[in-house]
Structure 1
Amino acid sequence: MIDFEAILDGLFDIVHVTDEKGRTLYCSGRYEEFFGIDPQEMIGKPIEEFYHLGYFSPTITMRVIRDRKKVHTIQTTRKKRRLLVEGTPLWDADGNFCGVVNTSIDITDHEQLQQEQNERKYVGGLLQSEMTKENSRRKGKISLVYRSQSMEQVTALAEKLAQVESSMILLGESGVGKGVLAKYIHECSPRADKPFVHINCGAIPETLLESELFGYEKGAFTGADKDGKAGLIEKANGGTLFLDEIGEMPLVLQVKLLNVLQEKTITPVGSAVPRKVDVKLITATNQNLRQMVKEGRFREDLYYRIHVVPLEIPPLRERREEIPVLVHYFLGVFCEKYCLDRQLSDACFRILAEYDWPGNVRELENVVERLVVTAPDVLITPTQIPRYIHSHEDSALGGIKVERVMQMQEAMEEVERQLLQRAYEQHKTTTKVAEALGISQPSASRKLRKWVFTGE
C-alpha cells in the first residue's frame, strides 16, 4: 500500500491540513523541529491560536479561508526558520470549500544567496532608472536624479522658466535641493556660459554682508582693501545671481537689493556712483516670507519683486519613490570618491525608504556617505544604519494612519482596527490589551474578535 504521508513528507519539509474553519486535521512529524510545537497538540485546534501565541508569522491559512484562493508567503517561525509556504484551498466533490493544505519548504540556508541575487536585480533596475532620468535631465555638470511625478512637474517648469528673465523664488524645506535646482536653471538658460554666483545670506555676518554683496571703494572703511573690491552681485553680471536664505537678509540691505531689481544698478560701499548690472535673480527660502512681511521683518515691495514665479520643491517624505534612486546615486558617487566597493542590502533600501528624512536630500546624502566610509565589508547591512533611523522605524510601527479620504464613521472604525491590532501585537493577551486601552476585558475580547482574529 502506498504511504501518501511519506510521499508528501519527502516532497515538502512541512505539510499542514486544516478544515474549512481552520482547525488542524494533519501536520507533518517535523513540525516541532521548525515551529517548536508538538504536532499532536495542534490536532483539532484552530491554527490562528498558535499564530497569536507567536509560533509563526504571518499566518496563511486564514487568508486562504477568507479569499478562497491559493496564497504564497514567506513565514518566520519561533525557531527562527524561514519557510516558503503555499496555501491551497480544498474543495469537495460538490464544489464546496472544505479546507486548506499548506506545503512549506525551508529556505533559511538560502536566504543570503537569495538576498544577493535580489540585490543585484534590484540595484540593476535602479541603475537603469537612474541613468534614464539623469540623461533626460542633465545640463552641463548638473544632473537632476528623480522619479516622482511631482519632481517631473517641478523640473519641466524650471526648464521653461529658465528661458525667461523673470525673477523666481524656490520654496521648500531645508535640504530639498534648492541650490541644485538653481544651478540647473542657470545651465538651462541662455546665460549658461556666464557666471553663476551663489550667495547664502544666512552664512555671511550681517556686518560684512553689504560689502560682500555690493563691493566697496578703496578706503571705504578701516581694514578695506586699498584697491577696493567688486561685490558678488557685480561678479554675477551677465549671468545668474542666486540668493539663498533670502529671509535672512537685513531690512537695510533689502532696500539696496530692490534697487538692483528696479534700476539694474548697484552702488558699492563708499561710492556715490551707481554701476550697471544685468543679472537673472533666483532666490530661495524655507521661511514664510508672507508672514515675515506681516511682522515687518521683510519688505513688502521686495517680496512682490522676488515672488514673481514661485517654484516649490516637495519634501523627500512626499516623494518616497525617489529615495531608492537617490540612495543608489549617492552610493555610486561616494564609492567612486573614496575608491571603495560597497552595496546595500534590500533590507537597507526598505529601512531608508520608510524614514521621513527631516533633513531631506542633504540628510540622505550624508547618511549614505557615512555608510560607505564606515562599512567594514562590501555588503552594508541594517545594523550599520544609524540608530535614530531605526528608532524612527520602530516608533512608526505604533502610529495610527488613515491612508485615504473616507466617511467619518469608516475612518473611526479604521482607527479602532489599527489601534486594536497594534495593542494586541504588543501585549498578546486581552487582559493587557484592555489595560493599555482603558476598556474592560470583555470589550477588548469582543473588539479583538471583530477586528483582529477574523482579519488574519
Structure 2
Amino acid sequence: MTNMDLEAMLNSLFDIVHVTDAEGRTIYCTETYEHFIGVSRNEMLGRNIEDFYNLGYFKPTITMRVIRERKKIHTIQTTFQNRKLFVVGTPIFDKEGTFLGVVNISTDITHQEKLQSELNEAKNLSTIYFEELDKYSNEKKEDASFIYRSSSMENIVEMAQRLAQVDSTVILLGESGVGKGMMAKYIHQNSPRKEKHFVQINCGAIPETLLESELFGYEKGAFTGAGKEGKIGLIEKADGGTLFLDEIGELPLRLQVKLLTTLHEKTITRLGGSTPKKIDIKLITATNKNLKKMVENGEFREDLYYRIHVIPMEIPPLRERPEEIPLLTSYFLEYYSRKYCLNKQLSDKCYHILEKYEWPGNVRELENLIERLVVTTKGDIITSEQIPSSIANSVTSSKEGIKVFNLLPIAEAVEEVEKQLLQRALDMYKTTTKMAEALGISQPSVSRKLKKYNIQ
C-alpha cells in the first residue's frame, strides 16, 4: 500500500489522525488538520503539540496527558474555529515496552445530534481505563488510593494481598491522609472474610464516655438511659469479619485493658453482662503516632502494643511517591466530574504545580482539592490561577532557589548547600538511587558525598 493510499484510507475513516513522539513533537498528521484546527500540517510537523495548545488553537490538550499517564484517554476538544472534536489518545509502545509516542484519533461532533450520539457511545466504551474506574465508582471510592505506580506502593499492595489470606494482626503506620483506612478495606475485600462485616472504629472520634458502650455493647438496664433491648457492640458486630481500629493511640488506658482481654481470650462481654461470648475477628489497627514512645511515657500499654504490633505496614507519604500524583489527580478529576455531571479538565500548568507540591495532607488533601476545584470553578478548564495561593505560592517559592543573607567563602557555601540538599533528598527518597535521580547526579556520587559529610 502506498503512502497516498494510506493517507486516503485514514482520511476516509477519521477526520484527523495526529501522531507525536514521546516528547510531544508532531511526526505525522492528516491533511485535514487545517480544516478542523486552523493550522496547516506543514506548520505542525516537527513542532511540539503543546505550543499550539498554548496559542489557543484547541483545548484541552490530550497528548500531554497520555504522555504523563501512559494510558488511553478520551475527551471532547474545542478548536480555535469553535468546532467540537471527540478525541481518543492512545499511547504507543514497542515490543520491549518502551514508550514511543501518542496517536490521536479525532471525529467531528460539532452538530448536537452527532455529539449526543458520540457521548452515548463513549459511555459504552469498555476500555481498561473505565473498567478500572468502575471498580472504584462506589460512593466511598474504597480502593482509590491504590491507583499506584511507585515500586514502594507496589510492594505494599503485594504484601497486603498476602496478609489478606491469613488472620495475623496488622498495624498500619503512616502520616494522616496516606490511605490507611483504604488499605484496611483492601485487605478485608481480598480476604476469605470479605462476605462478613468490615467494622471501622475511629478511637479518637467517639467521646470517651460513650466509647466503651459503642465498642462492647450493653445489656438492657446496664446503666441509666440504656435501651430496653440492650445493644450489640461494634466489636461483636465484626464477628466473622474484620475489625479496624483507626487511631488506636487515642484509646483510653482503661479501655486498652478491656480490649487486650478481648483479644487474648477471643471473647466479648457486654456492659452489664456476665456471660462472655466467643468472637472470631481479624484485627487491623492504624495510627500516625509513635506508639513505642507512648509506651515509654506510660500513655499506651506495653502488652497491648506487642499484641497489635505483629505485622507493621508503613504507607509512605505522597511526597515520596510523586509519580502517583498525576494518576490520582486524573482519577479524582474523573470521579467528581461524573458525580456532579460536569466535564472538567486541568490545564497542564495545574498538573505541573500539583506534581511539585509536597502534600502535607497526602492523598486526602489532594482529593479534597480536586473536589473543590471541580465544584467551584467556572468553565470546563481549570487553570493554574484557580489553584489556592497557599499551594501555588509554596511551589513558586520552592523554585526561587537559595537566598544569601551573609557573605562567606564560596567553597564553604557550596559545601553547606550540598549538605542541605543531600539531607533533604535522603529524608524524601530514602534510597541513593532515587536521590541521584532527584539531584541530577550519579548514584556513586551520592554515596561518596553522604560519606564525605557523614550523613546517615
**TM > 0.5 fold call:** yes
Shift of 1:396: 1.0
> Structure 2: how far apart are the matches of 1:193 and 1:411?
62
Which of 215, 218, 237 is 1:216 aligned to? 218
What CA deviation, in whole Å up to 9, does each residue of 1:330-356 have, x standing for no partner?
001100110001000110001011111
Tell me if structure 2 keeps the 8 A contact 1:357–1:364.
yes
Local SS of the residue matching 2:71: helix
Superposition map of 1:239-258 within 5 A: 239-258=241-260
Match of 2:408 in 1: none
Q: 1:266 to 1:417 in 2, by over 3 A?
A: closer
Match of 2:182 in 1: 180
Match of 1:158 in 2: 160
Tell me if structure 1 keeps the 8 A contact 2:53–2:61.
no
What CA deviation, in whole Å up to 9, does each residue of 1:370-404 have, x standing for no partner?
11011101111000001100121122124559xxx
Which of 369, 372, 378 is 1:370 aligned to? 372
Superposition map of 1:11-410 within 5 A: 111-113=54-56, 116=59, 118-123=61-66, 126=69, 128=71, 135=132, 142-143=142-143, 144-399=146-401
> Structure 2: how far apart are the matches of 1:135 and 1:376?
29
Tell me if structure 2 keeps the 8 A contact 1:134–1:145.
no
Shift of 1:262: 0.8
Tell me if structure 2 keeps the 8 A contact 1:133–1:145.
no
- Looking at CA atoms only, which structure, 1 or 2, has the larger radius of gyration? 1
> Structure 1: how far apart are the matches of 2:164 and 2:301?
26
Q: 1:278 to 1:391 in 2, by over 3 A?
A: same
> Structure 1: how far apart are the matches of 2:165 and 2:133?
18
Shift of 1:313: 0.2
> Structure 2: how far apart are the matches of 1:336 and 1:140?
10
Q: 1:129 to 1:169 in 2, by over 3 A?
A: farther
**TM-score under structure 1 length normalisation:** 0.62
Shift of 1:128: 2.2
Match of 1:19 in 2: none
Q: 1:198 to 1:263 in 2, by over 3 A?
A: same
Local SS of the residue matching 1:271: coil
**TM-score under structure 2 length normalisation:** 0.62
Q: 1:362 to 1:117 in 2, by over 3 A?
A: closer
- Which stretches in structure 1 are left out of the alignment for 5+ residues? 1-72, 74-103, 402-408, 420-456
Shift of 1:226: 0.9
Shift of 1:275: 1.1
What CA deviation, in whole Å up to 9, does each residue of 1:224-243 have, x standing for no partner?
11110000000000000000
Tell me if structure 2 keeps the 8 A contact 1:115–1:346.
no
Local SS of the residue matching 1:284: strand
> Structure 2: how far apart are the matches of 1:223 and 1:295?
36
- 1:376 aligned partner, one-letter code: K
Q: 1:136 to 1:309 in 2, by over 3 A?
A: farther
Local SS of the residue matching 2:379: coil
- 1:392 aligned partner, one-letter code: S
- 2:65 aligned partner, one-letter code: Y
> Structure 2: how far apart are the matches of 1:418 and 1:196?
45
- Which stretches in structure 2 are left out of the alignment for 5+ residues? 1-24, 26-46, 74-127, 404-410, 422-456
Shift of 1:308: 0.1
- 1:247 aligned partner, one-letter code: G
Shift of 1:259: 1.2
> Structure 2: how far apart are the matches of 1:400 and 1:134?
46
> Structure 1: how far apart are the matches of 2:290 and 2:420?
36
> Structure 2: how far apart are the matches of 1:243 and 1:317?
26
Tell me if structure 2 keeps the 8 A contact 1:115–1:345.
no
> Structure 2: how far apart are the matches of 1:417 and 1:234?
54
- 2:303 aligned partner, one-letter code: D
Local SS of the residue matching 1:259: helix
Give me the CA root mean square deviation.
3.3
- 2:392 aligned partner, one-letter code: H
Q: 1:129 to 1:293 in 2, by over 3 A?
A: farther
Q: 1:248 to 1:254 in 2, by over 3 A?
A: same
> Structure 2: how far apart are the matches of 1:418 and 1:252?
45
Q: Name the % identity.
A: 60
Shift of 1:215: 0.1
- 2:150 aligned partner, one-letter code: S
Tell me if structure 2 keeps the 8 A contact 1:166–1:280.
yes
Tell me if structure 1 keeps the 8 A contact 2:52–2:58.
no
Q: 1:191 to 1:322 in 2, by over 3 A?
A: same
Q: How many residues align?
A: 310
Tell me if structure 2 keeps the 8 A contact 1:140–1:187.
no
What CA deviation, in whole Å up to 9, does each residue of 1:110-145 have, x standing for no partner?
624477464444157637289579859969964321
